Amino acid sequence: MSSTLNEFMPPVDLYTLWPWFLSVAAVLGVRWLFSVPRKLQHIPRVPVIPTLLSYARGEVEDVRIKKLLLPYANRGEPAILVYSLGRWMVHILDRKIAKDLSADIITYPKEVPPDGLLLWRFVGYENIILSDGETWKRHSRVVKTALNRNVPVGEFAALAKKLFSQMGEGGTTAIGHNFDAIADGNSPFVRQYNHVMESIASPPYLVAPMLEKIFPRVKTIKAIDDLVASFQTILAHKKENPGNDMLTYMMEDKEMTDVEYRDNIVVFFIAGHDTTAGAMSSLCYYMAKRPEVQKRAREEVRRAMSKNPTGEPTIAELGKMPYLQACICEFLRVNTPITYMVPRAAMKDAVLVGANGRKVLIPQGSSIIINITSIHYKEEYWPNAHEFNPERFMGISKGQETEYDTTQWLPFALGSRMCPARNFAMYEQRVLASMLLNEWEWTISSDSPHMDGIENGFSPFALSLPKDLYLNFTPLARK
Ligand code: HEM
């Protein structure tokens, strides 16, 4: 009797194979989803799985950058691919390339954001942040004119006083939240704003923006639309009641449409509120952790203001506080408020050369992000980069040389699109910090979750804002 192969094989029920087919399809689908486009394959990349795990664990941008990108920066890589916002993006880790890119706003304009991102539904598209070319020039002119009218030191001092009145007799204070006082933290409007920002910042949606289409977040969309309508109401109110403030100055430009005004007001609110709250919280944190720094800064402030009974510093007095200025520069480095910049699009192929001579081809169509945190933590320029050390910046306010290459400091970005409010923001920090130092002393509890390092909250646009930071404030007799 002859036997055939079929006699040795058990009969196969195709139906039982469906889990196998499904697994193969899933693997192929995932590979397709995360495959690196051919034109980018020459650039080293941060592996996808640790990146996704980092999002799944809810790690914030600065933690992810220090863990996953910084090793490449310290190895001298000028650029690296990172999977985020549903695609592979080129992160720039080298200050020289960052400068060259920022200098050429024609070849590297802002990228048009992927459809459906809720952050941009909120911020809008017709504003200084997202526009380019002639439209950007118009927005920029209006914004700069409004910002450069004067440095409102008196208004900053009034904000500080408002903050102090909220702090009452002192005690334990959630400091990040308290800086909401700057934008009236108790108002339903600021609460509505904080709620919207928290809702937008959902890790799965940041990794895969396509989810916005598959599982639209109806409640968040409604909250955003309500908030945008509130901004519209502020605009209408301001038109009826002009004041001596930036919004009124902006509205003096008759070329802007109502939508452009509204979108720029949203930008100003985010830029002015979150960056200031984050920056001041970081300053308080580092000074609480380093009481000797706090003491030295307070002595300097009190010396500079010794003949001033008002408790509100003048511009001349602020000029006599170089150590405070150095502290501000150092916390803007070590917990930079904006960890990376808004993506740019490459309009043509270009080979860019890093400070160490290493070259990288950035192909046309790439999404590019200048990664500020990586540059601020490069050991080559910032030895013991994790340490808060204001000495790095001593002398720069007088234009003196320091042993550090402070051109590697870019919290306000670079080039013609750098922050137009940098002068304004630095004065704001200096006034608030000097008044705080003059009137309060503060410490951090040994059981604080921030004891081993500052912990920022999750943010929809790469912002470092310390989360639930409680500090103990004690009022001092004013000198
Ligand atoms: C410590 C405080 C601040 C920091 C660290 C900071 C940082 C930055 C950075 C890094 C950018 C570049 C963003 C990019 O192109 O991707 C930027 C742009 C901008 N910032 Fe600031 N900022 C601060 C405060 C402010 C304040 C208080 C305002 C307004 C009142 C403001 C208004 C703007 C505007 C309008 C732009 C867009 C400029 C343009 O695209 O031409 N910023 N800021």
* Torsion on CA atoms 162, 167, 169, 171, rounded to nearest 10: -160
Q: Does 298 contact ligand 1 (Cβ within 6 A)?
A: no
* Cα(346)–Cα(48) distance, integer angstroms: 23
| Residue 397: predicted pLDDT | 60
Does 355 map to a domain? Answer: yes
361 versus 173: the higher-pLDDT residue is 361
Give the residue with greater pLDDT, 237 vs 48.
48
CB neighbours of 392 closer than 8 A, spacing ≥ 6?
326, 329, 330, 333, 382, 402, 404, 406
For residue 113, give every residue at least 6 positions away whose Cβ sits within 8 Å of its Cβ, in sequence order, or none. 119, 120, 130, 343
The residue whose C-alpha atom lies closest to atom 36 belonging to ligand 1 is 419
Quote the CA–CA distance of 206 and 85 in Å, as a whole number: 5
Q: Assess whether the C-beta atom of 143 lies below 6 angstroms from ligand 1.
A: yes
Residue 414 resides in a domain: yes
Residue 348: which domain range?
A: 33-475
17 is a domain residue: no
Longest dimension (CA), the chain: 116
| Edge-to-edge strands, sheet with 367-370 | 79-84, 87-92, 367-370, 344-345
Alpha helices in 336-421 (DSSP H): 372-376
Atom 7 in ligand 1: residue holding the nearest Cα: 412
Ligand 1 neighbour 109 (Cβ under 6 A): no
Ligand 1 center to 139 CA (angstroms): 14
- Our count of domains for the chain comes to 1
**Exposed e or buried b per residue across 416-440, where buried means at least 16 C-beta atoms within 10 angstroms of its C-beta:** ebebbbeebbbbbbbbbbbbbbbbb
Which of helix, strand or coil describes residue 470?
A: strand
| Lowest-confidence pick of 126-130, 132-136, 205-209, 450-454 | 205-209
Angle at 424 between CA 245 and CA 469, to 5 degrees: 100
Residue 16 placed within a domain:
no
Instruction: Please tell me the distance between residue 311's alpha carbon and the centre of ligand 1 in angstroms.
Output: 29
Q: What is the pLDDT of residue 181?
A: 45
User: Element (H or E) spanning 406, and its range?
Assistant: none
Classify residue 393 as exposed, middle or buried by CB count within 10 Å of its CB (0-12, 13-18, 19+): buried
Ligand 1 atom nearest to CA at 267: 35
CATH number, domain with residue 47: 1.10.630.10
Beta partners for residue 45, in sequence order: 81
Rounded to the nearest angstrom, the distance between the alpha carbon of 267 and the centre of ligand 1 is 9
Check residue 215 and give its pLDDT: 86
Asked if residue 25 belongs to a domain, the reply is: no
Please work out whether the CB of residue 108 comes within 6 Å of at least one atom of ligand 1.
Answer: no
Cα of 367 from ligand 1 centre, angstroms: 20
Say which range, 143-152, 253-262, 357-366, 439-448, has the weakest mean pLDDT.
Answer: 143-152
pLDDT score of 304: 97
Q: Is 142 in the pocket of ligand 1 (CB under 6 A)?
A: no
Query: Between 41 and 464, whose confidence is greater?
Result: 41
300 found inside a domain? yes
The verdict on the CB of residue 371 being under 6 Å from ligand 1 is: no
- The rounded distance, in Å, linking the Cα atoms of 56 and 193 is 25
Specify the 3-state DSSP secondary structure of 83.
Answer: strand
Residue pair 229/196 in contact (Cβ under 8 Å)? The answer is no
pLDDT, tens digit, 9 for 90 and up, residues 93-133: 999 999 999 999 999 999 988 777 788 888 888 899 989 99
Q: How close is the Cα of 48 to the center of ligand 1, in Å?
A: 30
Output the CA 143–ligand 1 centroid distance in Å.
Answer: 11
Render pLDDT for 254-292 as a digit per residue (tens, 0 to 9).
788 888 888 888 888 888 778 888 888 999 999 999 999
Q: What is the CA radius of gyration of the chain?
A: 25
> Within a domain: residue 339?
yes
pLDDT given for residue 201 in this prediction: 81
Which of 336, 288, 306 shows the shortest CA–CA distance to 433? 288
Residue nearest to atom 3 of ligand 1 (CA): 275
CB 256 less than 6 A from any atom of ligand 1 = no
CA–CA gap between residue 418 and residue 420 (Å, rounded): 6
How many alpha carbons fall within 13 Å on the CB side of residue 382? 26
Higher pLDDT, 215 or 412: 412
Query: Which of 419, 422, 464 for mutating ligand 1's site (highest number of atoms within 8 Å of CB)?
Result: 419
- Shortest-distance atom of ligand 1 to CA 341: 16
419 belongs to an annotated ligand binding site = yes
In a domain, 379, yes or no: yes
- Atom number in ligand 1 closest to CA 342: 16
The DSSP code sequence of 221-279 is HHHHHHHHHHHHHHHHHHHHS--SSHHHHHTT-TT--HHHHHHHHHHHHHHHHHHHHHH
Give the per-residue pLDDT at 316: 95
Which atom belonging to ligand 1 lies closest to the Cα atom of 417? 41
Q: How far is the CA of 270 from the centre of ligand 1 (A)?
A: 9
- Sign of the Cα torsion 259, 261, 267, 273 reads negative
Instruction: Measure 421 CA to ligand 1 centroid, in angstroms.
Output: 6
